[in-house]
Structure formats: structure tokens, C-alpha cells
Amino acid sequence: MARVVLGVAGSIAAYKSAELVRLFTKAGIEVTVVMTRAATEFITPLTLATLSNRPVTVEQFGPPVGPTAGWELSDSSGGAVLRVAESDRPMESATVVGGEGPRSASGIEHIRATREADLIVVAPATANLLGKVANGICDDALSTTLLASTVPVLFCPAMNTRMWEHPAVRANVRQLMERGAQFVDPGTGELACGEYGAGRMAEPEEILGAVRRLLSGVRRGRLLVTAGGTEEPIDPVRCISNRSSGKMGFAVAEAGRDLGYDVTVIHAATSTPPPSGVTLLPVRTAEEMGNALHHLHADFDLLVMAAAVADYRPRRAHAVKLPSGEASMRVDLVPNPDLLASLRGQREGKLTVGFALEWGGTPRERVARARRKLQEKGCDLIALNNPLESDSQFGGDTNRITLLYADGRTRELGLLSKYDAARALLDGLPAPRPIAPVLSLVPTTAGAKPKTKPSTKNPRRTATPRRSGPSANPQKPPRGGSRKKAPR
């Protein structure tokens, strides 16, 4: 189990630390909280102790607060041990006996916590705390904890916009970053003081994603996700669309972010808020999504096509609102391009995942239809789902997915939350298909002879994709002549 020390400084954003502790605990991360005295003016230590089920340190030399069931301290030699009986009250007189003599248990708890921690997260991190740590000042439990630790530190600043932009604060942030500290930059929005600007502490979900990336210790590359349902206009106020909520695509983006991917989401209409910590590119129609997709996909290691793209669009989109009335109206529809199929053969060496909505027939017939789509569209993996089932409907929070792999494997995920289904999908990705070898007809070293005899008829074409530039196909030798030998 990963262990995190959560530092809470004195800011109105301290109320978010309760949700952060809850998210950490739910994710299987053990949390130990260290607070400044100013932080207790915004949230009580007992609240965080109850949520974390561990004592909370506030005073540098005072007793910790909260549950102490099973709490044990030992000195560096392992000889002095303190076992504390179960209690929900602050420790008042506990001492460690042995070694050089009695000493306060609470006086070493914040130091011990850092020795066992994998990461320290400071959320919120105030301008005061950043200045202290940057300049080596430790006059309370939290600043002492930070300076006594050698584990990675993640700061989540929260302050007024002008404070965040002040040269002194910017210099402190640069100095901490140069020493290896990580930051989740504050968001932009309405602040507690009534002003608008940068300074809001990042949302707990975004902080959790950053923590998961740091604990995993890996960066997985770049992930491009499509989400939502496209809207095909009939006129300025009417459109043809579908019931997609965008939840599954956003769940893939959120899971990818938490796994360490650099995530970009091309999204059409959605009915759920997008995840934080990812790059968002809103579009409206299938054509707009296709343009964005073809412009971006080559720069991404992994593409997950979770959007519900309208199959048809009106042949003509009227520039003004059509009059309403009782008379019938005819709208001619033309098919939209298949965006996933349009990328076939362009992503060798990269991974492409599609979604297939299939209903009707037996489960075996639905799997067979989805597998044909996988082959026709050139995917490495296709996720089969049926949003007409009661527990995996459009807009719901759960899904039943069957993963079909290009190598013939099938994996049933069963009923999961959409986030857990997305995690399972990303955790089970196959290896990328190898890039097709380029047929070279030109010697690569001086004096070497070509291994393949050139043909004057229909030279073999390479299947290797090119992002831009001239064709990679070998050219025919001049008519009536022969190939020139490589210079010696």
C-alpha cells in the first residue's frame, strides 16, 4: 500500500482536504495528515483524523489528534517501542521508553511519518508555506516535516491571484522546482475574496491523478480520446444527434490521466463535466471531429475512439431557422464518413481502440459482428457494449464491456463503473503492431550491393505510413538504361 503524507496549510481551500483524504483512502492510499495551526481555523483536525483513521499532527511538540488504534513507534535501533491502546482522543502523555531515556511520542511522529511515506502532498500550499520551505525555515510541524524529508513533494498552491503572480512567490516556486518539487498549478476562476483569476487550488480529482502518476513513477506517452455525440445541424437551432453523454470517453481520459498519460480529448456534445488535468478540444459535427482527428492523431501513441459519431447528416444545413407549422418537412440525409475506418493503415507502430455498439441477436452474434468491425477498421482492440441494457445505458455510471483483441483474444469485464472499465481497458492494452519494414533498393553503405533486384515493372510499394513529405515508394530506373552503381 502506498503511503502519503498530506500537508494542509492555512487557506480557505483547506476544506477540500477532507475530500482529498477520502479519495486517497478510496484509492487504497494510506494517508497521514500534518496541519499548520492556521489550517485548523478552516477545518478541524478531528475531521481529517476520522476520514484517514490515523492521528493528525498539528503541534510540533504537542500530542497528535484522532484515532490511535494499533499505533506503534520505535526508535532507529528497533529497541524502544510504544504501543498505544485504541482511543479516539488526543494523546496526552504517551512517551517512548528506552534508548537515551523518555521522550515525547508526538515530538517524533511527523518525522517518522516522512520516513515511511512514498510522497508528501501539500494541499493547499500557501504563499507563506512556499516561502518557508524555499528558504529553509521550519517553525511548525508541517514545515519541519517537509525539510526533514527526502521523498518527493507535490505542492498544490492556493492563494489570491496577485499573490500567485508576485515576483517573490514566483521565485520561490522556481527555486522549489529546481530542487525537484512538483506542482499542480492552481486553476482560474472566482476566488474566495470575490476576485477572478488564477489561484484556486486544483480540484481533488486532479490532485489524485497527479499523485497516482508520481507513485507509478512512469509516463506512458500521449493519449488521444474522442468523446460525446456529434450534432449535425438542420438549421441554426435544430440538429440531428444521439443520446451519448460522453461519460465513457471522459472516463477513459480520466483513467489515462491517472495512469500517467498526457491526455487530449476531442469532444462533441456531452451532458457531464469533463475531467480536470487533460487538454480539451471541443467540436460540434462529425466533420469538425474528423478534421481535428486527422490533424492530431499521428502525434499520439494511443487513440481511443469513444465518441458517438452521427451516421448521417442533412445534405443541406439551412442558414436561417426553418418556419414551424403543421406541414410535413423533408430532410435529405447523407452518410457521414467513418472516422475510425478512415485511419486504417495510418497508425502502424501505434495503438488504436474503437467502440462497437451492438444489439440484437445472441451474444455470440454480437461478438462476431464486433470482430468484423475490428478487422475492417484496422483496430488493435475494440470494446463491445450494449447501451440498451438496463445497467449500461447512455448517461449511466456503469457499463458492461467485452474487449476483443486483434490477436483473437476475448475478455469479458462484467459490470463495472465506467472509470473502472476504462482502467481495465487501458491496463490490458496489447503491444503496438510493428511498423512494416521499408523495402530498400538503394545501398545504405558505400560499396554495398542491393539485396533486392530492382524491377522495371510495378515496383513493390511499402506499407509504411508517412505523415508528410514525398512518397516513400522506390522509383523505377530510367527507361533504356540501367541503375547506376553505388560510388565506391
Catalytic residues: 193
- Other beta carbons within 10 angstroms of residue 433's beta carbon come to 15
SS3 state of residue 125: strand
Q: How far apart are CA 438 and CA 351, in angstroms?
A: 20
Residues 155/187, Cβ–Cβ less than 8 Å: no
| 234's grid cell | 438542420
- Other beta carbons within 10 angstroms of residue 114's beta carbon come to 20
Question: Buried b vs exposed e over 447-484: b needs ≥16 C-beta within 10 Å?
Answer: eeeeeeeeeeeebeebeebeeeeeeeebeeeeeeeeee
Beta-bridged to residue 305, according to DSSP, are 226, 354
Residues 119/154, Cβ–Cβ less than 8 Å: yes
- Other beta carbons within 10 angstroms of residue 176's beta carbon come to 19
Q: How far apart are CA 52 and CA 67, in angstroms?
A: 9
- Other beta carbons within 10 angstroms of residue 336's beta carbon come to 18
User: Checking DSSP bridges between strand 221-227 and strand 302-305, what pairing results, if any?
Assistant: parallel
